[in-house]
Structure 1
Amino acid sequence: MKPVLSALALTFAAFAGGCTSVSSPPMAAAPVSVREPVTILVSIDGFHPDYLDRGLTPNLSQLASGGVTAAMRPSFPTKTFPNHWTLVTGLVPDHHGIIANRMEDRTRPDEPFTMASVDPFWWNDARPIWVEAEEAGIRTAAMFWPGSAVPWGGTSQRRGPVSDGVLPSDWQQFSMQVSNTQRVNSVLDWLRRPEDIRPEFVTLYFDTVDTAGHDGGPGSGEVNAGLKDIDGHIGALISGLNELGQTANLVIVSDHGMAPTSSERVIVLDQIVDPSLYRLVESGAYATFEATQGNEAAFEAAILADHARMECWPKSDIPARFQYGTHDRIPPYFCLPETGWTVTRSAPSGDWTGGNHGFDPFAPEMAALFIANGPAFASGKGIPAFQNVAIAPLLRELIGLPQKQRADGSLEDVKGALRAPR
């Protein structure tokens, strides 16, 4: 698809002409409907900012050059669900409770959290921005976003449905069977509605690039194909907005980047710690553990010893720069390998290559995308690097919500992206 010239900052005008005759006065001009800008938060999961340099994303690159860009640092751990919840709450995972893609809670030992969990029990530590918007009378819609199908504030019911709680006015449960074309068309269909049922804040989520990065690694042909696909759909979104005469403030982000991994860079836990001493909670880009009963001292001595290409801590000693280690759901012990290394319980069979994330958020490979373009934003500007906890304050400013007292990010971190008032 050819690059679509950004018209997001243009004022759309419509004209209606009258007709005259000798027997009747001129007709009055039809009233012109002026659309207020909509705020659209777009996540391209797993999109590293350097992907813009491959010459495969003309639409995204044009939005970046004509808008505002910055290096954005994800929060830790650099996983999908923790960072998507950070983006819409303004809190780090240690404070909002979604501390991993898979986690456990000691009050529910037999019901771990997975990426399909919609029970409010797991999500109620922090209100997402669409809940506060809905409560303020600002209509919202979510074309997929982790947590958007959760009735926030609802009463948890073990193994049963939850009917109460606040949801976006319009939302869809995530399904990879819903194509990217269908996702874009759904957003445009919402924006075709009459003003009283038209959303003012919309989320849109794409997983194509992340899936390709896991399968082939960040330098793969799979990723390049994913970049072309997503860029084409961004172009379709912009074209659709232009056809509607709908101005938009686009905030385009990713949750994390992607690091290359392979079977040649693996740390095998059972080769360094007696497997009877621990229960493994998570593994991969990091590992979390509990000691088995009666083996706490032996396990701690083994896991906290020096290891090649991996550091381990009790949760209370995780370095402060990660802003991680106080939430009850974080297991007692945590190990972080060098970026690109995989922690696994047993030795893998066969050779493989791929990609992963979850590593140190300060590693260059984990950097996240940030592009802002629209009437609220400056043009052709870069701003200093910032952490993704600042996205929620930026969204609050765009849709007219007051800033929160309980927040880990500040509008000040991204205020330079906004157009100076005239």
Structure 2
Amino acid sequence: MNQQYKRYSQNSVTINIALFSILLVLSLAVSAQREIDDLKPTVLLISIDGFRADYFEIHKPFTLNELARNGVRAKWMKPPYPTKTFPAHYTIATGLYPDNHGMVENNMFDVERNAVFGLSDRNAVQDPLWWGGEPIWNTVQKQGQIAASFFWPGTETAIGGMQPKYWKQYDGNVSNTERVDTLLSWLDLPQAERPTILTIYFSDVDDAGHGFGPDSPETKAAVIAIDQMIKRLMDGLSLRGIADKVNIIITSDHGMAPYRMRDAIVLDEMFDTNDAERIFWVGEFTQIFPKPGREDVIYRAIKAKLPKNAFIYRRHEFPRRFKFGKNKRIAPLVVIPTEGTVITTRQRFERAEREGRLDAVRGAHGYDNDLVSMRATFVGHGPRFKRNFISEPFESVDVYELICRILEIRPSKNDGKFKRIRSVLR
């Protein structure tokens, strides 16, 4: 045997041994994953923030479309008004409209408490006095089951003195992989410690939609990236032998509409802002809290100058179909634009002009919840759901009742109607 061939043979043996070792480790890892054979009725509630109902066709996520084809997909799901992240998520969780659960916007002012809420204010988010109603995780645990959440608005708050047994404080820097793998690890717990309702939240699609618009390559990339996370989750369930035993509900909170800053409505030039105690300059839902005696002055000034693609409402004057306008946390005056534009200030408009962003397409939500662009998503997959079924639209307020039926628990008082959503079940 020549030395060159000998060295080649020795190298081949070494490579083969290394490959065998790798395969053995992988095999042991797979075999170490215990199949779950004692699963109780279980719901995985997944939120893909900002996933518009037509993204299935526009951006073609493979795994999500497969789950929809093999389960139930609603033509669309109607979010509550305003179509904002915290109000819409908490409506799904409680089955209550924002007027009734109190989370009326991502930014709020409670006059009676002289307190401000902002979704990025950790102290406010963790203050239970902002959160009304009974969320699904409390309903579950009050009736002897266990809840877990890797992010969902309200879960890091002791609402009614209770939180999910397993929960995480929101941190947008936590990878989606860690979120999925932690969720799977909770399912690996012994039955006595295992949750029967688990929530998980992904923000990437909403982030891309805001930054680049709903039809952009960036939003498509975000949809595909989240689709890969759903595949990772399904692969993990398959490894545990429960892919067809867990009831999976995939939702979104709202849709997304494109706009350009050039089309924005400059509101602060239409009235004397010194007449207001406080203004929340939210592009799709600008709230004005007038100083005493100045409400009518502000209202008349804006009403006289506001273009036709925007409206000003007093708190109790919103259209009845919004089911919105009773809660005292809503500002006395609210200015809302129509789809395709936003409310802004002269300073913000000029900053966008200096930075060359006036014609850049971006995305926004918060608009009229009857708009096609605001339609949310619903997919149901698992033993309780029909297969290959497309349901008529229903409201996100109905999801709470649906989860209670699947988990065989009594729902708390809510605004949902099970008859609107019952067709998705076998």
Q: TM-score over 0.5 for the alignment?
A: yes
1:345 Cα deviation after fit: 2.6
How many residue pairs were aligned? 376
Deviation at 1:300, TM superposition (A): 2.1
* CA–CA distance in structure 1, aligned partners of residues 270 and 362 of structure 2: 24
Distance 1:120 1:182 in 2: 27
Write the deviation string for residues 357-391 of structure 1: whole angstroms up to 9, x where unpaired. 10110111000010001100001111111111001
Q: Are 1:187 and 2:192 matched, yes or no?
A: no
CA contact (8 A) 1:35 1:245 kept: no
After superposition, where does 1:13-412 map in structure 2 within 5 Å? Answer: 33-54=37-58, 56-70=60-74, 71-115=76-120, 116=122, 117-123=125-131, 125-153=132-160, 165-246=161-242, 247-278=245-276, 279-305=278-304, 307-308=306-307, 309-347=309-347, 348-349=349-350, 350=353, 351=358, 352-404=360-412, 406-412=413-419
1:375 alignment partner, SS class? coil
User: 1:13 matched to which residue of 2?
Assistant: none
Q: Deviations over 1:70-90 (max 9, x none)?
A: 110100100000000000100
CA distance in 1, matches of 2:221, 2:196: 32
Matches of 1:275 and 1:171, distance apart in 2: 42
Asked if 2 retains the 8 angstrom alpha-carbon contact of 1:188 and 1:241, the reply is yes
Deviation at 1:182, TM superposition (A): 0.4
Q: Is the 8 A contact 1:253 1:368 kept in 2?
A: yes
Unaligned runs of 5+ in 2: 1-35
Deviates more, 1:294-303 or 1:333-342: 294-303
Which range moves more in the overlay, 60-69 or 266-275? 266-275
Find the structure with the greater CA-based Rg. Answer: 2
Q: SS at 1:328's partner residue? A: coil
Moved more, 357-366 or 110-119: 110-119
Structure 2: distance between partners of 1:231 and 1:415? 27
Contact 1:281–1:331 under 8 Å retained in 2: no
**AA partner of residue 296 (structure 1):** E
Alpha-carbon offset, residue 306 of structure 1: 6.2
Give the 3-state SS of the residue equivalent to 1:108 in structure 2.
Answer: coil
Q: Give structure 1 stretches of 5+ with no counterpart.
A: 1-31, 154-164
Higher helix share: 2
> What do you get for the CA RMSD once the two structures are aligned?
1.6
Distance 1:221 1:38, change over 3 A: same
Residue identity opposite 1:274 in structure 2:
D
3-state SS of 1:394 partner: helix
Q: SS state of the match for residue 163, structure 2?
A: coil
Write the letter of the residue equivalent to 1:77.
Answer: P
For the residue of structure 2 that corresponds to 1:185, the secondary structure is: helix
Separation in structure 1 between the aligned mates of residue 156 and residue 289 of structure 2, nearest angstrom? 31
- Once the 2 structures are TM-superposed, how far is the Cα of residue 55 of structure 1 from its aligned partner? 5.0
Identity of aligned residues (%): 36
Shift of 1:106: 1.1
Q: For residues 384 and 111 of structure 1, what CA distance do their matches in structure 2 show? A: 39
**Does structure 1 conserve the Cα–Cα contact (< 8 Å) formed by 2:137 and 2:147?**
yes
Once the 2 structures are TM-superposed, how far is the Cα of residue 299 of structure 1 from its aligned partner? Answer: 1.2
Partner Cα distance (1:371, 1:86) in 2: 17
Q: 1:12 maps to what in 2?
A: none
Measured in 2, the distance between the counterparts of 1:295 and 1:119 equals 31
Closer/same/farther in 2, CA of residues 398 and 300 from structure 1, 3 Å limit: same
Contact 1:250–1:374 (Cα < 8 Å) also in 2: yes
Shift of 1:325: 0.5
- 1: distance between equivalents of 2:137 and 2:39? 21
Deviations 1:307-345 (A, max 9, x none): 211111111111111111100100101122111211013
Please tell me the residue identity of whatever aligns with 1:231.
D
Per the normalisation by structure 1, the TM-score is: 0.86
Provide closer, same or farther for how the CA distance between residues 306 and 395 of structure 1 changes in structure 2, counting only shifts above 3 A. Answer: farther
**What is residue 27 of structure 2 aligned with on the other side?**
none
Letter in 2 for 1:307: L
CA distance in 2, matches of 1:170, 1:112: 25
CA contact (8 A) 1:104 1:113 kept: no
Q: What SS class does the counterpart of residue 271 from structure 1 fall into?
A: coil
Q: Please say if residues 51 and 206 of structure 2, whose CA atoms lie closer than 8 Å, have aligned partners that are also in contact.
A: yes
